[in-house]
Structures are given as structure tokens and as C-alpha cells.
Amino acid sequence: MLPPDIDLVVGIPRSGLLAANMLGLVANLPMADLDSFVEGRAYSFGATKNTASFKNPSNVRRVLVLDDSINTGGAMREAKDKLAHCASPAQFIFAAVYGLSDQVDGVDIIFEVVEQPRLFQWNFMHHGLLSKACVDIDGVLCVDPTDAENDEGPAYETFLQTARPLHKPTRFIAYLVTSRLEKYRSLTEAWLRTHAIDYGKLVMLDLPSAAERRSRDAHAGFKAGFYRQCDAEIFIESSRRQAKDIARLSNKPVLCTETHQMVLPTHVRSFLRMRFAIDVLAFLRRGRPIPEELSYAIADAQNGAKSRTLITWFGSRPDGFVDAIQSVRRICAARNEFPIVVLSDFHQELMSQTETPVEFIPQVRHLPSLSPGQYEDYVRRRHDLLLRKWAIAREVTLGLGFDEFLIQQLAGNELRHAQDKARLNLKS
């Protein structure tokens, strides 16, 4: 982990400064930027820093030179060239939070391996992947309009001209895909020119009014339709709900800026290997074991040594679904894997026929007292707990995928609420 006796953390501009600052705060170490260190300038610290042995730059003995990530190594080589010409007698340890492998030439420490393709929370709008991306406008490039501004009148036109930028891209964007109406194209293009947004194509919704758009609930379907048929590899969307729907309808990944999470189409299991590292403190937890209370020990030593495979069946169950699960179990046995079954309903026959552990993810009807938000939060936490406590190495999805199941449950719940509301209105 972190080498002992570090006197100073030096961040490589720009993103390395973020990592160095966070590490300095957590480890209670002073930090500096690369140029300040090379020029021998003094460093200032907060009152909580342990600086008893750190009076001036000449006292520095061990320096951790840190960048957020390393790919080609160009930034690290430039940093080494600068340090080679400085007068400091310090020993330098070169590190990156994220690397393509755990051993990189010229780097002493890689805290975490994250293979390509990868995005970071702090650079997703400066990444070359934008040239293969669909990007939403409201909530991504600029703030969303308030209810008062979203009046489809003068207030909305003023918003379109003066909207505050949010995430300013520095790369070319292939497609801007927005559910703004086509009649606002000229105002939208003028705002994009004002803020020097470089893009290839602006795709807008061709409907007569916002009321028509709302009645059709056209936002996600429109975006997904274009995304599905174009050559883009990622969609950047602000709304969490729309991100889920776009991923489901397009069968492509969506980056949600509201939650800074990658929403994956449920059938793309191999895509789970694509790591989107957004936690700048992850390097402090490298190699952290699963807490003991979250890990299941299998009493049988032979089974305990096997890798664990999750077999899920969410949603409706056709005739013969038990036979399908048993077939997968036999395949797992042939692969020397230990299976765990997860269902969205109790099934006494399956539970009594097999020694395989059977877990349960409840449906909305099992938890009628929870609101949709509470249900989603509970089910997601329960699903995450299952994955962690069993230390799952592989997942086999039968029936619906987890996200598809959750969308189905929430959609059915919203329909039931609407029907209940309609019945109450009729009674009144």
C-alpha cells in the first residue's frame, strides 16, 4: 500500500493534483504541485497537518509523485525529466492511482488496475470517447430549466439563450441528442456557438409542443431510437430514469451524470469488465477484503475452494424453469463451480430438491408498504449484498436481467398507483 515515511505528496497537473490533494487529506501529508516542488517554493498547510519534521523543501527525504492514471506514460516521463533537473536530494517514488496493469515501466506503484476502455468522473467530458458518443444537452452541457422557465413561452426562450453551462466539453462530440423540440433549433445552435461546443450533428425531437411530448412520454424512447441505429458507443444522459430506459431500449451502455454510474444493458454481461473508476480514494482500499460479516464460508472444504456462480431467474417463470436451472447447475458442477440460485419468488419444490443455496429478491407485491423509491433502494442494496457475501465470480442470467426486472416492477407499481388514483377520483 502507501509506502512508509512519505514526507510529501507531489501531484502531476492537472488530474494528479486531485489525487494528491485527496491522499494528502486522508493520510495527513503535505502536498504540492510538481512545478512548485521543482522550483523549491514553500508549501502551506492546514493546522491539522503533521509538519513537525517538514520545515522547508530541503528537509524532504521521500516524495510520492502521483498521477491519477497512466496510459502511455507521457506525463510521468515529463515529470521525471523536470525532477532530474531540480536540486532536491529527496528519494522519489512514482505512482499512479489507476494503471492498465500492476506493473508499468518507470512507475513504482499502481494502486489499482483498470483496463481500457475506461472513464473517470473528473475527465469524462475531456475524453476521446466523445467522438463516438451521443450527449444530452439539458442536465449535461447546461443546467435543466426550472419549472418557471419551462413554460414553452418567453421564459423558456430566455433560458435557451442564457442557460448556465454545466459540464464544458473540450473534445469533439459526435451527436448531441436532446428532447428539446425542433422549433427551438436556432436558439439551441446559437447557445452552442456561444459556448464553443464542437459537435457533428444536433438531433432534436420533432413534435409540435411540450404537451404532446409529455403525453407520449417521448424523451427516453426518442433518444434510444437514435442511439440504437447510429454508430455511437456510449450515451451521456442526465436523468437516472431516462438512462435506465435508454440502456434497456437501445441495448447499449449509458453514463448517467445524475448518479455518475454506468447503466448497462442487461444482456451485455461481458461489459461488466469495463471499469469506470470514479472513486478517487479507491487506491486507499486496494486489496481490501470483503468484511467478514458479508462473506459466506462454505463448510465443505472442497466446495469452499470452488469459484461461485450466481444463477438468477427474475420475473415470470414458464413451465420447465426448474429443469432449466438444474441444467445450469449441472454445467456449473462440470466446470468445478459452486452455484447459488436467486429467484424473485419463493419456490418450495426447487428449494427442497437441491442442496444449492437459494436466495430471494422480493417483488413489489411482497413489500406493499414501500414507496417505489424505497423499494428500488432496498432491492438494489439486497442484490449488492448477495454479490458481495457470496464473492460471485460469474453470473448466469435466466429470465429477466436484474435491471430489466427492476424496471418491470417499478413500471407495474406506477401503473397500479395510477389505477388506484383513478378509482379514487371516480369515487369522489
pLDDT in the model for residue 419:
52
3-state secondary structure of 242: helix
Torsion angles phi and psi, residue 380, rounded to 5: -65, -45
Strands 254-256 and 261-263: antiparallel
**CATH topology classification for 291-417:** Rossmann fold (3.40.50)
- pLDDT of 286 reads 36
pLDDT of residue 132: 92
| Residue among 112, 57, 116 at smallest CA distance from 89 | 57
Identify the pLDDT of residue 54.
53
Q: What would you measure as the largest C-alpha separation in the chain, in angstroms?
A: 85
Q: Is 252 exposed, middle or buried (0-12, 13-18, 19+ CB in 10 A)?
A: buried
What's the rounded Cα separation, in Å, for the pair 332 and 48? 54
For every one of its 428 residues, what pLDDT tens digit does the chain have, with 9 covering 90 and above?
677 788 888 988 878 888 888 888 777 888 888 888 888 775 555 555 555 445 455 677 889 999 988 877 888 888 888 888 887 888 899 988 888 887 788 888 888 887 766 777 777 888 888 999 999 999 999 999 998 998 888 999 999 999 999 999 999 999 999 999 999 999 999 999 999 999 999 999 998 888 888 887 788 899 999 999 999 999 999 998 899 899 988 988 899 988 878 887 754 443 433 344 434 333 333 333 334 444 445 556 677 778 888 899 888 877 777 888 888 888 888 888 889 999 888 776 666 666 788 888 989 888 888 888 888 888 888 888 888 888 888 888 888 888 888 888 887 655 555 555 555 555 54
Please state the φ and ψ torsions of residue 88, each to the nearest 5 degrees.
-70, 135
In contact, 246 and 264? CB cutoff 8 Å: no
Residues 6+ apart with CB under 8 A from 172: 130, 131, 198, 199, 200
Q: Where in the chain is the domain with CATH 3.40.50.2020?
A: 8-113
DSSP code string of 204-239: EE--S-HHHHHHHT-HHHHHHHHHHHSS-SEEEES-
As separate numbers, helices (DSSP H) first and strands (DSSP E) second, the chain gives 13, 15
Instruction: Please give the CATH architecture assigned to the domain spanning 124-273.
Output: 3-Layer(aba) Sandwich (3.40)
Q: Which of 404, 346, 416, 410 is nearest to 377 (CA)?
A: 410
pLDDT of residue 270: 38
Give dist(CA 10, CA 79) in Å, integer. Answer: 10
Residue 33: its pLDDT value, please?
87
Task: Give the three-class secondary structure for 358.
Answer: strand
pLDDT of amino acid 104 = 80
Q: Nearest 5°: phi and psi at 19?
A: -65, -40
Residue 276 pLDDT: 42
- Integer Cα distance of 315 and 128 in angstroms: 39
Q: Which helix (H) or strand (E) holds 98?
A: strand 91-99
* DSSP state string for 296-351: PPPSSHHHHTSEEEEEEEES---TTHHHHHHHHHHHHHHTTEEEEEEESS--HHHH
Q: State pTM to two decimals.
A: 0.57
* Domain 8-113 -> CATH class: alpha beta
- Neighbour order of strands in the sheet with 254-256: 199-205, 173-181, 133-135, 234-237, 254-256, 261-263
Pairing relationship of beta strands 109-113 and 31-33 according to DSSP bridges: unpaired
CA distance 104 to 83: 19
